[in-house]
Chains A and B, each alone.
Chain A
């Protein structure tokens, strides 16, 4: 029988602590366990970078929408149904041949949940939080993104409740693609600024 670490390792201190806390708070009547399930289901099944990708694809194909997105991103994103916690006040920053944008939260892990979901570990890591502001080109190179010396790198440190979404450049050779197909090309990293969008 294969050795299965997930089954046989003893539960971690953190796991025991969370279980004990949930049990206590449910016993005290402070927490509805079904609400916990509903929260987890929301961020596991319904909220993620596929939402932001729809915003980007729409901006690429609808100039009027792109203008609204630049003027009032919160309202324009809400048009597509993406609203709420950690996306209450959105700003979209646009990449071009002259400017590359990169988003970080050096103080904690602020991230635009309604359009990108919960942040990946690397976004929350000390290495990214420390270096994105002092060595953005070095960080980008680690993601395989080389920025030309004549391009400005503009880093956005999310120090308040404004959440930033990067509007990546639409790749050449995608003229005939539908918004749905375009959305399929848009990656989470491209909307943080650690990636570029590539033609299929």
Chain B
């Protein structure tokens, strides 16, 4: 989906303002928001890709005005509503209508975080491209989740790494158990992305699945 989350190359956001004294969490509720998101994710009702899409499809005014972890909570509520884990009435302060079991117990946290969610899959697929190949990112505007940023679409680049076959984010966000797709690091010269004003030596490398690419 073309949306406000796709920020690469946008202008007008000002300078980067690092704060060396910044605490890990600006307030205790931010830590709870992170932990709630991870603990509910452990129920396995949605993929990481679907949770990213939930954050991307918040209303545009929320994308701009809500803080980072506030967006996480808004997206978590939307996911739980979609999956029937909570009801509108419950979120509005009504009594619990259904019960359940925690997916993540305190004693399992270390093991579950250490396991993570690997996306590399065994596959008999032969990758279409190899490092050194010239490719072009397709021009496409899918309405769902995608990880091909606007700024790279239609641009020529060169495959620099092959990462193996990985869960395809676009399909995973739709909840599909689709085959893993070959994933490549593709390098684009800064000038091909941004024009002659860019530094001639610079480049941007993106990790792109095979369905995003065509031979150049």
Contacts and interface: CB of A to CB of B under 8 A. Distances in A.
Q: Are A and B a genuine interacting pair, yes or no?
A: yes
Interface of A: 12-15, 17-22, 24-25, 27-32, 34-40, 42-44, 83-89, 91, 104, 106-109, 117-118, 120-122, 124-134, 136-137, 139, 142-143, 149-162, 189, 194
A149 B209 CA distance: 32
A31 B40 contact: yes
A21 B73 CA distance: 9
A108 B35 contact: no
26 contacts: A14-B67, A22-B36, A25-B86, A28-B90, A31-B102, A32-B104, A35-B35, A39-B38, A40-B32, A85-B117, A89-B163, A106-B9, A122-B19, A126-B13, A127-B14, A129-B8, A131-B11, A131-B16, A134-B198, A137-B199, A139-B16, A157-B149, A159-B208, A160-B209, A161-B167, A162-B185
Contact of B193 (A122, A124, A133): A133
Contact of B9 (A18, A29, A130, A189): A130
A135 to B, nearest CB: 9
Contacts of A19: 29, 32
Interface string B108-125: 111001111111100000
A159 B7 contact: no
B204 interface: yes
Contacts of B22: 120-121
B98 A155 contact: no
Interface in B117-174: 117-120, 147-149, 151, 161, 163, 166-167, 169
Contacts of A134: 8-9, 11, 151, 193-194, 198
Contacts of A159: 147-149, 206-208
Given A18-B29, A42-B109, A118-B24, A162 B102 contact: no
Interface residues of B, number: 93
A122 B68 CA distance: 11
Given A155-B205, A157-B8, A120 B18 contact: yes
B44 interface: no
Contact of B36 (A18, A28, A121, A162): A18
A36 B70 contact: no
B213 interface: no
Interface of B: 5-11, 13-19, 22, 24-27, 29, 31-36, 38-40, 43, 48, 52, 55, 66-70, 73, 76-77, 85-86, 90-91, 93, 96, 98-106, 108-110, 113-120, 147-149, 151, 161, 163, 166-167, 169, 183, 185, 187, 190, 193-194, 198-199, 201-209
Contacts of B11: 130-131, 134
Given A38-B110, A88-B116, A159-B207, A107 B10 contact: no
B50 to A, nearest CB: 13
Contacts of B190: 153
Contact of B8 (A42, A106, A149): A106
Given A39-B35, A159-B208, A142 B202 contact: no
Contacts of A25: 36, 40, 86
